[in-house]
Amino acid sequence: MEKIKNLILLLGAPNDEQGNLSVMALDRNECAYNFYCHNEGTTILCTGGMGEHFNRTEKPHGAYAQAYLMERGVVEKDLLPCVLSTNTYEDFMLSKEIIKKISPDLFIVITSDFHMRRAKLLQEKLIDYPNVLFIAAKSTVSPDELNLLLRHEQQAIRRILGR
């Protein structure tokens, strides 16, 4: 296997009962796709399994993300097998060995802008990769949904920090 230059960890987000990606997931996937198109030697690792709060279908969320990316033009060989995580902590915990084994020149974490602080904290706590770039996907969710998400993030960050 040739050396992977750039490895994107694309954090999962909800999809509906038919497997359609949510606005949040589309924002993140488009961000990953744009980076992929402009940076040769990029491989993508999608996260997201199945769970009551984000994916009630029989296929993992990561498979829907991969299908979307391939429809946009990402080559299948540039997609690693999905990480079957059920939350952000597991995204990093279950990806850790894959990332360390691949040892990319640059490790890129893509998530929503409102989710970035938590992603940074967990990356530092669980992986602490030396060459990491965080890219925030601009959120296009409704203002009401964004307020709920921001409150959830504040609670999750307090738990990580032990406050």
List pLDDT tens digits, range 100-157. 999 999 999 999 999 999 999 999 999 999 999 999 999 999 999 999 999 999 999 9
pLDDT at 2 over 80: no
Number of domains in the chain: 1
pLDDT at 73 over 70: yes
Range(s) of the domain holding residue 137: 6-161
18 within 8 A of 56, measured Cβ to Cβ: no
85 within 8 A of 53, measured Cβ to Cβ: no
Residue 134 lies in a domain: yes
Longest dimension (CA), the chain: 46
pLDDT value at position 163? Answer: 66
Tokens 């391939």 belong to residue: 70
Residue 59 lies in a domain: yes
Residue 71 lies in a domain: yes
Task: Tell me the average pLDDT across 80-109.
Answer: 97
What CATH number is associated with residue 92? 3.40.50.620
Backbone conformation region of residue 125, classed left if phi is above 0, alpha if psi is from -120 to 50, else beta: alpha
DSSP string, 63-131: HHHHHHHHHHT--GGGBPPPB--SSHHHHHHHHHHHHHHH--SEEEEEEEGGGHHHHHHHIIIII--SS
Residue 1 lies in a domain: no
pLDDT value at position 126? Answer: 97
pLDDT digits (tens, 9 = 90+) for 41-62: 999 999 999 878 788 898 999 9
pLDDT at 1 over 60: no
Task: Tell me the average pLDDT across 80-97.
Answer: 97
pLDDT digits (tens, 9 = 90+) for 25-35: 999 999 999 99
CA angle 26, 30, 35 (to 5 degrees): 155
pLDDT > 70: percent of the chain: 99
The neighbour count for residue 79, using CB atoms within 10 Å, is 21
CA torsion angle 118 124 128 132 (round to 10): 50
